[in-house]
Amino acid sequence: MSGEAFLYPTHNRIIYHIDVNSAFLSWEACRRLAAGDTLDLRTIPSAVGGDQSKRHGIVLAKSHPAKAFGIKTGEPLLSARRKCPGLVVVPPSYPLYAQNSRAFIALLGKYAPVVEQYSIDEAFCDMTGTEQLYGPPVSFASKLKEEIKTQLGFTVNVGVSSNKLLAKMASDFEKPDCVHTLFPEEIPAKMWPLPVGDLFFVGRSTSRKLKALGIRTIGDLAKTDPDILISHLKKQGQKIWEHANGIDYSPVEGRNSANKSYGNSITVSFDVTDKNTARQILLSLCETVGARLRADGARTGLLAVSVKDYEFHCSSHQQTLLSVTDATLDLYQGACSLLDELWNGTPIRQFGFTAGHITYDMDYQYSLFENHDYERLSRLDAAVDRIRSRYGEDAIQRACFLNSGHSHLAGGHDPSCRTGVTKSSF
């Protein structure tokens, strides 16, 4: 199948968003059942949890029975066990998740002309023009859902609409194992009554700001003057107003599409309260992102840092660079500057770093304000990349990581996961 994006008028498109239900837990349950276990983890209060020796572990995925106890993804296992003393916790297995993810995407590729993997457990499919092959889109979505269950053993939700935003919103409706539609004409009845925090691109911080303006539902947001939103939220105000009205023109981009951003994040095993440690963790993220940029012959013109504190409140800042770069030092200096702007000293649990505005133009444009030799940095980074490629990622590291207790290459969950790319498509 072609990896190129379709360019049909948006009102004629048929887009699926397919999301694996409780992916990590489902994949673990499938493996155990295939090995002869009679107990399906999905039918009992259960969770996939991180290393319990570190912060007592964190919930990475949960079953629907566990959700009924109020257990949330990302909360400490200690808290989850208080809510449900009989909670069954199993350790994560990232090679298993990668294997199931590949099988999932491969199956979708049998039917969809264009498949965009959005994360390890979700994908968009552009099904435009396939009605003559597969019949009515909603009926085929149900058949595809059943084939995934039969062939791969796990369940999915499928959202069907005319654009990616609405398809994603639809797939988040009632779970598990469901097909939902959210076409433009269904927005007032199905989407506008929902809390504004349910809208894609509206996080906790934005939700609080909107509620302070008296905007409590997606419908309230859709009917608000966009100029008011822009005055309070800048460019994001325009974007979420468009989303509230179901407006999205982004194409489904196949595997041959260029990456739009590179990112990594890490949940740390302790509360970070000092700036030096925070900067060291950011440096480890910049190391992995920088290496991936250079491996793809890419450079970035925009940096973003996000943090999640111990109460799960998120904040982020971004900045446009004077010159595009792939140098780890440039990435790190920009990340530190952003951290200084956004962090008020509240203990941090999770760090994220993203490089955006990607270009593949290798003609470096020097800035009058730069105070270092980019070519020297480029040669140094290239040498480090070659050493790690030949002798292993731990063959060379910066001195500040020696005996620090922190990985010098952070992001993902283990080395095999660090090559994943975050795509920002809409």
d(CA 81, CA 71): 9
DSSP run (H or E) holding 369: none
d(CA 183, CA 246): 9
The catalytic residue among 28, 116, 122, 253 is 122
Is beta strand 46-49 parallel, antiparallel or unpaired with respect to 59-62?
antiparallel
Residue tagged 């030092």 (tokens): 329
Contact (Cβ atoms closer than 8 angstroms) between residue 348 and residue 55: no
DSSP run (H or E) holding 16: strand 15-20
d(CA 141, CA 338): 43
Residue tagged 């296992």 (tokens): 77
The question of whether 122 is a catalytic residue gets the answer yes
Of the candidates 385, 251, 370, 281, which has an alpha carbon nearest to the alpha carbon of residue 322?
370
DSSP run (H or E) holding 135: none
Q: For the chain, how big is the Rg over CA atoms in Å?
A: 22
Of the candidates 161, 154, 157, 148, which has an alpha carbon nearest to the alpha carbon of residue 179?
157
Bridge partners of 159, per DSSP, are: 17, 180
Annotated catalytic residues are 122
